[in-house]
Amino acid sequence: MAALEVDEVTKQYGGHRVLDRASLEAESGQITGLIGPNGAGKTTMFNVITGLTAPDGGRVRLGGRDVTGLRLHQRARTGLARTFQQLELFSMLTVRENIRVAADIHRRWSGDKQSCAAVTDAIIERVGLGAVADARVTTLPTGQGRLVELGRALAARPSVLLLDEPASGQDDLETARFGDLLRELAEDGAAVVLVEHDMSLVMKVCDRVHVLDLGRMIAAGDPATVQADPAVLDAYLGTSRAAAT
């Protein structure tokens, strides 16, 4: 049983179908890539999974449980956490406080007895924000802001972790370090879903890749297969569309 199953989800805004019977599965211990050109519906897919956007059709299951009717916080409490493409940091707080808020929230509903301060310190160490832990988040560059979001998501101890373009705004060195971190997280047992435009990162770390184009899932498989898929090349480079015109 997959940790996350999205079953033929459809979302329509006016006449525009952002998601068209799109399905997705993510296994525990694996990194699943979700790629596609801009406007393909990747972020909408994350919004539907987390409950920010209600789908017009289809189901979302977490750990085999149908969560389609659940509200955001209820889904989060089944072990789902995410980061946002456009940063959603708590701007009045420091890096440490941002992560601490998440740890506090987790502790409250999970009854976890671990000290929130200790959890926070461990996460800061893990994502490598020690040097800026007491800086206000708005003073950080975007790349580090994304690490704060990741740290916050980790404080919720997720079994399914959705990352929306986590490497954008990071340099090559940071991205490489970030890839290692993702592998570690997956090895710890989380199902990681990665939306990313940095193809070298996706191809390097992902176990499986799903390709979304204009709301439809056009390919899925291991990175090498997907990379060679003509439909994917078409979506990204517009080969057949260019030929047709």
Binding region for other proteins (CB under 8 A): 50-52, 71-73, 75-77, 80-82, 84, 86-93, 97-98, 100-102, 104-106, 109, 116, 131-132, 135-136, 138-144, 152-153, 155-156, 169-174
CB of 142 to other proteins, least distance (A): 6
- Taking the least distance from each CB to other proteins, the nearer of 142 and 225 is 142
CA 75 to chain centre: 15
State the nearest-atom distance from the C-beta of 119 to other proteins, in Å.
13
Q: Of 207, 213, 241, 242, nearest to 225 (Cα)?
A: 207
Alpha-carbon distance 5 to 31, whole Å? 14
Closer residue to other proteins, CB minimum distance, 52 or 122: 52
Residue (91 or 239) nearer to other proteins, CB: 91
Shortest Å distance, C-beta 101 to other proteins: 5
Closest to other proteins by CB, 25 vs 164, is 164
Cα–Cα dist 145/170, whole Å: 10
In whole angstroms, the minimum distance from the beta carbon of 221 to other proteins comes to: 29
Q: Strand, coil or helix: what is 171?
A: coil
DSSP strand E in 89-190: where? 160-164
Give every CB contact of residue 71 below 8 A, 6+ residues apart in sequence: 51
Instruction: Name the residue with tokens 């699943």.
Output: 32
CB of 106 to other proteins, least distance (A): 6
Token representation of residue 171: 């340099």
C-beta closer to other proteins: residue 32 or 50: 50
3-state SS assignment for residue 215: coil
